[in-house]
């Protein structure tokens, strides 16, 4: 296991210490959140954790959680979650984050908005002085008329790229939509950009998570840190 992978696992496993029996959890998508999933399953098998249910943020997470023996539920059955552990692509000093590198940002945001306490787990490379410095902002768009959304995003100052699968076909989200990766560079007005994206017909979701994160567990060369909002 490489150094960055060790940091990912350290951060995720530390966050799992917040999980208590009886909780309903949001199960995040991505390589770092996966370590939390593995730890939860380990604790369940060992009898050190019990009576929990998880709401997966993607079909892939649902499949893996089921294979690991983690009981699942839905937001329809439990519209309020106790805790969500998820990853991020970039984190600013105010704990605003960019998510969606795995294409699950719409479901992840729905789950985040439904949770009492949202925790992000990450390695230190994800920390940034300003969102957009390191990561693109993923934007989920309806396939119908998607090129009009590309032009609109370019008008906002982004360099835009349609996300594709290895065979060159458009990447599809769990909802069957396209993802446009938008490279803005350091973003001056996060709220303004989020508002513009939210008002546009055909844009169904985006990776700016503003004011949704309560705490970040981040591991790196200086060890493990917990950052609060």
* C-alpha span between 164 and 41 (Å, rounded): 32
Name the residue among 150, 152, 170 with its Cα closest to residue 160.
Answer: 150
Pairing of strands 137-141, 203-206: antiparallel
Known active-site residue 108: yes
Contacts of 41 (CB under 8 A, 6+ apart): 65, 68, 69, 70
Residue 218 · residue 224 · CB < 8 Å: yes
Q: How big is the chain, counted in residues?
A: 229
* C-alpha span between 229 and 216 (Å, rounded): 9
Residue 135 · residue 158 · CB < 8 Å: no
Q: Which of 10, 64, 90, 108 does the annotation list as catalytic?
A: 108
Q: Which residues are catalytic?
A: 108
């Amino acid at each position: 296991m490489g150094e960055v992978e060790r940091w990912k696992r350290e951060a995720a496993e530390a966050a799992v210490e917040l999980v208590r029996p009886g909780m309903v959890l949001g199960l995040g998508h991505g390589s770092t959140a996966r370590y939390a999933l593995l730890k939860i399953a380990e604790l369940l098998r060992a009898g050190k954790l019990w009576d929990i249910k998880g709401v997966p943020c993607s079909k892939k997470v649902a499949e893996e959680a089921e294979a690991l023996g983690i009981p699942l539920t839905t937001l329809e059955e439990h519209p309020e979650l106790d805790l969500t552990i998820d990853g991020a692509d970039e984190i600013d000093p105010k704990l605003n984050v960019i998510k969606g590198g795995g294409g699950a940002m719409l479901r992840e945001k729905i789950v985040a908005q439904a949770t009492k306490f949202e925790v992000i787990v990450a390695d230190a490379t994800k920390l940034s002085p300003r969102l957009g410095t390191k990561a693109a902002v993923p934007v989920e768009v309806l396939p119908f008329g998607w090129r009009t959304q590309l032009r609109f995003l370019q008008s906002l100052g982004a360099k835009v790229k349609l996300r594709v699968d290895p065979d060159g076909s458009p990447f599809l989200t769990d909802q069957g939509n396209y993802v446009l990766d938008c490279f803005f560079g350091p973003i001056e007005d996060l709220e303004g950009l989020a508002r513009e994206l939210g008002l546009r017909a055909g844009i169904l979701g985006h990776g700016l998570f503003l004011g949704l994160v309560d705490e970040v567990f981040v591991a790196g060369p200086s060890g493990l840190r917990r950052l609060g909002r």
